[in-house]
Structure 1
Amino acid sequence: MRSGKSTIMCSSSSTAQKAAENIEDTQEEIVIPRRKTWDKLAVLQTLASTVNRDPTAAHYMFQDDPYLMPRNSANARLLSLSKESGRNAAKYIIKQFPQYFDKILAEPNVPCLMPVTLTPQLEGVNEEALRERINLRMMKASVDLFDQLLQAGTPVSLETTNSLLDLLCFYGDGKSVQEEQREEKEDLEESGVNASEQKTPKRPLQRGPRSSGSRWRENNDAERIFKIMPERNAHSYCTMIRGMAKHGASAKAYDMYTELLNERHKADVQTFNALIGAVPFLKDKSPERWELVKVFLNHMVQQEVQPNLLTFNAVLKTLRRCGGIGRSVAISVLKEMEALKIEPSLATYEHLLFIFYRAVDLGPSSIISEVLEDVEKRSFTAQDPDDANFFATAMQVCCDLKDIKLAYRLNKAMEKGDNWKFLDMSQLNSYWSKFFSLLCMMEQIDVVLKWYREMPPSLFYPSPKNIVDLLQALDAANHLEAIPSVWEDMKLLGFNRRQDLLEEILSLMSRDTHPEETQLAFAKCAEDIKNVHEQSWREQAPLAWTGSALGHVAVLFSRVGRTQDAWKVIERFQQANRIPTDRVMDEFLNCAKQTNSPDEAIKLVKLAVSLGLASAQRLKSRAEKEFELSESQRKALESIQPDSDSSDSDSDSDSDSN
């Protein structure tokens, strides 16, 4: 017994010892992780990743006001511009009338959201007041105060003068937004006119980009101040060069760069970028442009200026206007970027696609494939103003190449990370419109309809061209029974008054005979189109009936046995000074036969005779053979005598065709 107890005690002690050793081993392996710092938006980003896009919802920009929900791309653009205009108006009120917002009622108080003081606080003629007006972007006041300082014999430091040059060269001969708003307000107060009553703007309204001509006035304030500066450094010259290049005075910018070299100063990388971008306006021929670009690049090497991403983008943007030289040099430019370990941006790829894929002469598809391989691996951030043009340009290339696989790859790359943010409202609609047109051209009809149900209105609003492409895809796939649903979408999009779309949809519905259910749906669409024409007379631009549209509607009514409606449409041929075709007359006669309406057949023959149709005799013969006529009806039909000239011309045309 003692031995057994001792054995048990020994085994238990050994077990405890092993357990203690295991605990020590595990304690040595434990590593306390460092404190994790989460982003402020981490929770919102995690929640957003669990929610998928609702294809039935509109763009998030328009969801705050369901009563103003846009129906098409034109309304969407108008609403987005209206909302942006409202935000600008609110900013204007806050900045111009800060005295009405002096009571801080916000809890908590966020200083960056409070009104900013835009009125000068320093008085007197001194350099401090000048710097304050420069920081407030008051161009005219800054120039006036600078002149007063010179007249008083007070020297202005080189740093302050360069700051004034920066302001003047940034805006050119124009005015800052704050200054324009301030002057308009003062003019209105002096004239005693309320801003809401002013109907004629002071300046002509400019739409689209400004003209490509020079907007740099001769001997403006920037040039005058630059000439009277007692001391100039490299910053002064570079500011003038960038301002001249920005505002279209490319020749003056190049002359200023020559003066900079003569003064033995060095330009910075932003100045070289501006000069390279101005090369197309300095030289007319492609070889001369490329030679000048190489001169600037060699000067950067000599002055030990390190190029950046915008430098190579400026080179590629210039190569877009160098014809065949651009194609032969563009790849070497990318290799140089790779050697300097500079990652391309979306603007780099956009310039490359423009160089190799022109509308007239398309380049090899391998270029865009290699571009997509790089784009698919990255989530881009904005580094160049031209970055926003990449996805729309790339989708246009896919459409030109008619390559649906490339389009799918591009769309997948666009949805990766935050790449979708590069598409603004107008480019978003253009991108998806091109993508949908390519789908209609290259994909199966089931895939096309799936995309069509999921894309609008959450992604884009179909254009009239998209509707035409969809109708042609339905026609090619012999899937015309889906036309009524497309017509309902056309009404929602506001396209029910587009003459070309109405002609296309009526032509497809009336071309062939379909099952009864489909024909009834087509007749319902034809009735809606007929009502649209009848109600349009109240509008400024009413729709006009065309002979083909009338014929299609009459055929669709006739095929479902709506004899009275078809006859009313046929009577409109006389009112619209149109002549129905033989197909329309035959379809109506078939409808009258189907409904056993000999009186309608007799009226049709009378109408054909009154219109002088060549088919009047043939229609009379059909009515005599295919209808059971009473004695009075037969006499009425025999009393109708077609014009002999029309029957002769009918026989002559038959003999000629034979």
Structure 2
Amino acid sequence: MEALASTVQRDPTAYPYQFQDDPYLSPRTSVEFKLFSLSQESGRAAAKYFVNSNPKLFTKDFAEPHIPCLMPESVALRLEEVSQEALEERISLRKVSAAVEMYDQLLQSGTAVSMETTHKLLDLICLYCDRDPVQEGTPQTEDREEEEEDRRRKPMGRRAMDFLKCTWKENNNAERIFNLLPERDARCYSALIRGMVKHGAYAKAFNLYEDLLNNRLSGEDQDTQRAGSSALLILDEYLLRSRIELLNQMNEQKVRPNLLTFNSVLKALRQCSFLAKTFSPQILNEMKALGIAPSLATYEHILTVFFYKSGSNMAILQDVLMELEGTSFTCQDPNDGEPRCLDNKDLELGYKVHSLVEVGENWRLLGDSYQQALYYGRFFNLLCLMEHIDVVLKWYSRIVPSVSAPPSGCNLLQALDTDSRLDLLPTIWKDIKSLGHDNKVDLVEELLCLMARDEHSAEVQESFAACALDVKSVFGERPKKEWSTSSLSHISILLLRANKLQKAWDMLQLFKDKNRVPSGALLSSFLTACRCSASPQRAVELVQLSAAFSLPTTPELAKRTLAEFELNDKQR
């Protein structure tokens, strides 16, 4: 499949593949991208819930070849007798309460449980915080509803330590089973430490990690080291030097830290103010000394410390991009898929970042479709501000709509105005209309204003008039959309310049219907058009319309009409 894919190029006129199931529902804006992706995920979760909740209704398998992962999961318990096999079955089905109950029954019957099974049980209890996991689509329990309500009530903008709620219960089943063990190895400590860190008991996690070291256990499990460092790093920013001592302890015990260990340290250093700028380069040098290649998350943490905080240290960003040039990345850290878009006015930097995106499959690390649309939108806005219009249009044809919806702002229109390419506005309007931006009143009014500002050749004026009529028809289909006086005036002027007098006269009627007051300059343009078409009656009606609106230009219009037209006695 990869070989076949390499023989073709991306079609710039087609939507991304994941949005081609139903053309009617294809998203056209970044917000619709996000809604579409969330709807897809919600649908998958709902389908999975119904399949797994009613496995007896899905026993037929017509797939060839057979695909086990698409078949309903077995959620019913088959083994009822007290045995280690029954315990492992409950662990595999993630039945936390049932697994704990079976473990207690085995201990009461005097049956020994293997250390490997005990490790799995501790992992299960710590992962779900001693509660049965809530299946997707089922109602929330009271405890979870209370947690959600507390989270919503917390004020925004506070530090993470202020609103992270500890859900780890004192002396829960994980701690009880851990204390009952005659022998505890590093794997048992690892399970509890990771569970405590995951559920907010950071102080307990670090105390348990110190207990692991005091018992002279090697702590060879890399997840133990990562959990221990996470527990330490979250405590308080003034314990920074103690955090560095954690790495020294790992060195003394000859435990080799991995990429995730260093990334967790760097992530925590982001909260440590100016001290982070001192220690983060040391961490990066230590990684290189150990031969550990940084991931995207590593550089993102470094940039956060040196760039986002100050907003002016562009040299760091230049150095990072120079080091990453031509590098193809794979996702090694959960934070690798959480990109951040920078707003800057450096075109060269923008091209360097985009060239990195186009290496291999680095574009996958931009995130979901919403994040990709956000990135391409900002990149295109930078081009509109800094690049020549021919280059902008070249990128426009590559990006829209194959990888992103068009930007909804006016940067593209301003770029066309700057380079005197307003003749392309009708083409841009077709994209605006087809891709769902015609409901943005500010954007449409900016388009009409640019077309009506200056006079152009007859051919261009004809295309502008056709575009204006199309805008009028779109607004006419939406009765809730209120016409502004400026929009009516711009459309009228465009129709007059294209010698479409009858259609322009219909616009004056629309002024009256919408209770809008035309300007004296617009009525003067209408009078000039009436003279060119030798229409004295319409000139008189124009004066009457101006008088009906009590415009101060009425005497001047009447004087011009008397002087420029041959009127009968009644018209006079």
Cα deviation 1:503-531 (Å, max 9, x = unaligned) = 21111111112222222222222222222
Distance in 2 separating the partners of 1:591 and 1:292: 83
**8 Å contact from structure 1 (residues 605, 616) kept in 2:** yes
The residue number in structure 2 matching 1:641 is none
Whether 1:495 aligns to 2:437 is yes
The Cα shift of 1:543 comes to 0.8
Deviation at 1:341, TM superposition (A): 1.0
Task: Pick 1 or 2: higher relative contact order, CA cutoff 8 A, min separation 6.
Answer: 2
Alpha-carbon deviation of 1:620? 2.9
1:147 and 2:99 equivalent?
no
Q: Deviations over 1:307-346 (max 9, x none)?
A: 1111221122122222333334333322221111111111
Q: Distance in 2 between matches of 1:531 and 1:480?
A: 22
Q: 2:352: which partner in 1? A: 409
Within 5 Å, which residues of 2 pair with 1:458-497? 458-465=402-409, 468-497=410-439
Counterpart residue number, 1:244 = 196
The answer as to whether partners of 2:373 and 2:405 remain within 8 angstroms in 1 is yes
Instruction: Please report how far the alpha carbon of residue 154 of structure 1 lies from its aligned counterpart in structure 2 after TM superposition.
Output: 4.8
CA shift in 2, pair 1:306/1:481, >3 Å: same
| TM-score, scaled relative to structure 2 | 0.87
| 1:270 equivalenced with 2:208 (yes/no) | no
| Deviation of the 1:261 alpha carbon | 4.2
Task: Tell me the distance in 2 between the aligned counterparts of 1:105 and 1:486.
Answer: 48
Q: CA deviation at 1:459?
A: 1.3
Mapping 1:517-556, distance limit 5 Å: 517-537=459-479, 542-556=480-494
> Does the 8 A contact of 2:287 with 2:294 survive in 1?
yes
Decide which of 506, 525, 532 is 1:594's aligned counterpart.
532
Please, which moves more after superposition, 289-298 or 337-346?
289-298
Summarize the Cα distance change of 1:163–1:484 in structure 2 as closer, same or farther, 3 Å threshold: same
Kindly provide the amino acid, as one letter, of the partner of residue 457 in structure 2. P
Unaligned stretches of 5+ in structure 2?
155-162
In the alignment, the residues of structure 2 paired with residue 108 and residue 563 of structure 1 have an alpha-carbon distance, to the nearest angstrom, of: 69
Question: Rg bigger for which structure?
Answer: 1
What are the superposed Cα offsets for residues 533-573 of structure 1, whole Å, 9 maximum, x if unpaired?
A: 22212xxxx11122222222222222223333333333444
- Match of 1:387? 336
Q: Is the 8 A contact 1:506 1:526 kept in 2?
A: yes
Change in Cα spacing, 1:355 to 1:604, as seen in structure 2 (3 Å) is: farther
Counterpart in 1 of 2:298?
Answer: 348
- Whichever residue aligns with residue 422 of structure 1, its letter is L
Change beyond 3 A, Cα 1:113–1:420? same
Q: Which of 76, 90, 97 is the matching residue for 1:133?
A: 90
CA, structure 1 residues 206+52, in 2 after alignment: closer, same or farther (shift >3 Å)?
farther
Which of 507, 513, 526 is residue 455 of structure 2 equivalent to? 513
Q: Pairwise CA RMSD of aligned residues?
A: 3.2
Distance 2:306 2:275 in 1: 11
Matched, 1:213 2:170: no
Q: Where do 1:112-127 residues align within 5 Å?
A: 116-127=73-84
- Cα distance in structure 2, aligned partners of 1:503 and 1:204: 48
Taking a change above 3 Å as real, the CA distance of residues 205 and 445 of structure 1, as seen in their structure-2 partners, is farther
2:319 corresponds in structure 1 to: 370
- Judge conservation of contact 1:272–1:296 (CA < 8 Å) in 2: no
Does structure 2 retain, via aligned residues, the 8 Å contact 1:158–1:231? no
- The amino acid across from 2:412 in the alignment is L
- Using structure 1 for the length normalisation, give the TM-score: 0.76
Aligned residue for 2:207, secondary structure, equals: helix
**Residue in 2 that maps onto 1:27:** none
- 1:244 is displaced (CA, Å) by 1.7
> Does 2:184 align with 1:232?
yes
| Identity level (%) | 43
Q: Superposed, which structure 2 residues align to 1:332-343 within 5 Å?
A: 332-343=282-293
- Rate the CA distance shift 1:582–1:144 in 2: closer, same or farther, 3 A: farther
Q: How many residues of Structure 1 are paired with residues of Structure 2 in the alignment? A: 557
Contact kept? 2:168, 2:200, Cα under 8 Å:
no
Equivalent residue number for residue 640 of structure 1: none
Are the counterparts in 1 of residues 537 and 571 from structure 2 also a CA contact under 8 Å?
Answer: no
Cα distance, 1:634 vs structure 2: 5.6
Task: Tell me the residue number matched to 2:385.
Answer: 441
Q: Which moved more, 1:318-327 or 1:255-264?
A: 255-264
Q: Note the alpha carbon deviations across 1:155-210, whole angstroms, 9 max, x for none.
A: 54544333212112122255436x567x779x9xxxxxxxxxxxxxx969989x99
1:293 is aligned to: 243
Q: Per the alignment, do residues 459 and 164 of structure 1 end up closer, same or farther by CA in structure 2, a change over 3 Å counting?
A: same
The residue type equivalent to 1:236 in the other structure is C
Whole-angstrom distance in 2 between the partners of 1:123 and 1:259: 38
The change in CA–CA distance for 1:371 and 1:511 in structure 2 (over 3 A counts) is same
- 1:280–1:321: 8 Å Cα contact kept in structure 2? no
- For 1:484, the aligned partner's letter is P
Q: Tell me, yes or no, if the aligned pair for 2:30 and 2:374 is still in contact at 8 Å.
A: no
Give the aligned residue type for 2:293.
E
Amino acid at match of 2:186: A
Instruction: Report what 2:566 is aligned to.
Output: 629
> In the TM superposition, what is the alpha-carbon distance from 1:483 to its structure 2 partner?
0.8
Distance 1:125 1:89 in 2: 34
Distance apart, 1:582 and its partner CA: 3.2
CA distance in 2, matches of 1:174, 1:591: 80
Structure 1 unaligned runs (5+)?
Answer: 1-43, 188-201, 636-658
SS of 2:455's equivalent?
coil
Task: Give 1:484 deviation, angstroms.
Answer: 0.7
When residues 360 and 505 of structure 1 are mapped into structure 2, their CA distance, relative to the original with a 3 A threshold, is farther
Distance 1:444 1:546 in 2: 33
Conservation of the 8 A alpha-carbon contact between 1:432 and 1:460: yes
SS at match of 2:477: helix
Query: Tell me, what secondary structure is at the counterpart of 2:433?
Result: helix
User: What code does the residue aligned with 2:167 have?
Assistant: W
Find the aligned partners of 2:488 and 2:79 in 1 and give their Cα distance: 77
- In structure 1, distance between residues paired with 2:567 and 2:197: 92
Match of 1:581 in 2: 519
Q: For residue 451 of structure 2, what is the amino acid of its counterpart?
A: M
Q: Distance in 2 between matches of 1:571 and 1:104?
A: 66
| SS of equivalent residue, structure 1 residue 526 | helix
Instruction: Report Cα offsets for 1:72-93 as digits up to 9, x if no partner.
Output: 4444444444444444455445
Offset of residue 479 of structure 1: 0.7
Distance 1:616 1:419, change over 3 A: same
The equivalent of 1:418 in structure 2 is 361
Please name the residue that 1:504 is paired with.
446
